[in-house]
Amino acid sequence: MGTPSSAADTRLTYDDLLLLPDDGKRHEIIDGEHYVTASPSLRHQDLVGRLYLSIGTWLAARPGSGRLFLAPLDVVLSYYDVVEPDLLFVAGDQTAILTKANVQGPPALVVEVLSPSTRRTDARVKRRLFERTGVREYWLLDPELDSVQVFRPDAGRLRRVDELSAEDGHRLSTPLLPGWALDLTEFFLPTI
């Protein structure tokens, strides 16, 4: 990613992010602004783990389809935009964006699990970032409503194309993973 040319630019950069201490929190920069998120809840981690297991099992039987990753992993979208999605999928045609240290470009699929402290950032700020950087699909999992919002590009914008819920017995699927589907009724079952 290119470096800034303006000496007066005070936005944070990826270099600044690398200097932050490892304090167990998630540090991200979006348009040079620092965002900090506390450790996730047990429910959050359970849902991310279930989704990773489901998609990962599907991918294991389809070599070359792509790679799946969990946070923490830096996704460098620009010198001023570095995020750590809860889960991300890099499609088989995008493997050039994978480096030893991070992902250098927009993944095909980005997934965030909403929490009270991240809801606004995930739904608005990150969606706009993913929209302008070329993410192919964005999911917002809501553990309070047991629902998933699915966003896909349409006329240069990431638009909500579906809102699926466990209550209505919906199944989550995507053209990025042909043949994969997830029963939301089973997925959102509580464990504690």
Three-class DSSP category at 127: helix
State the Cα–Cα distance between residues 44 and 112, nearest whole angstrom. 10
State the Cα–Cα distance between residues 145 and 3, nearest whole angstrom. 41
pLDDT of 71 > 90? The answer is yes
Neighbours of 18 (CB within 10 A): 11
pLDDT of 7 > 80? The answer is no
Q: What is the pTM of this model?
A: 0.92
| pLDDT given at position 6 | 53
Q: How confident is the model at residue 97 (pLDDT cuts 50, 70, 90)?
A: very high
* Vertex 63 angle, CA 59 and 69, to 5°: 45
User: What does the pLDDT look like over 30-58, one tens digit per residue?
Assistant: 999 999 988 899 999 999 999 999 999 99
Mention every residue, 6+ apart, whose C-beta is less than 8 A from residue 1.
14, 76, 77, 78, 79, 104
DSSP string, 50-88: HHHHHHHHHHHTSTTSEEEEESS--EEEETTEEE--SEE
Domains of the chain by range and CATH? Answer: 14-187 (3.90.1570.10)
Q: How confident is the model at residue 191 (pLDDT cuts 50, 70, 90)?
A: confident
Please tell me the number of Cα atoms within 13 Å of 30 on its side-chain side.
19
- For a pLDDT cut of 90, what percent of the chain falls above it? 85
Give the tokens for residue 59.
């991918």
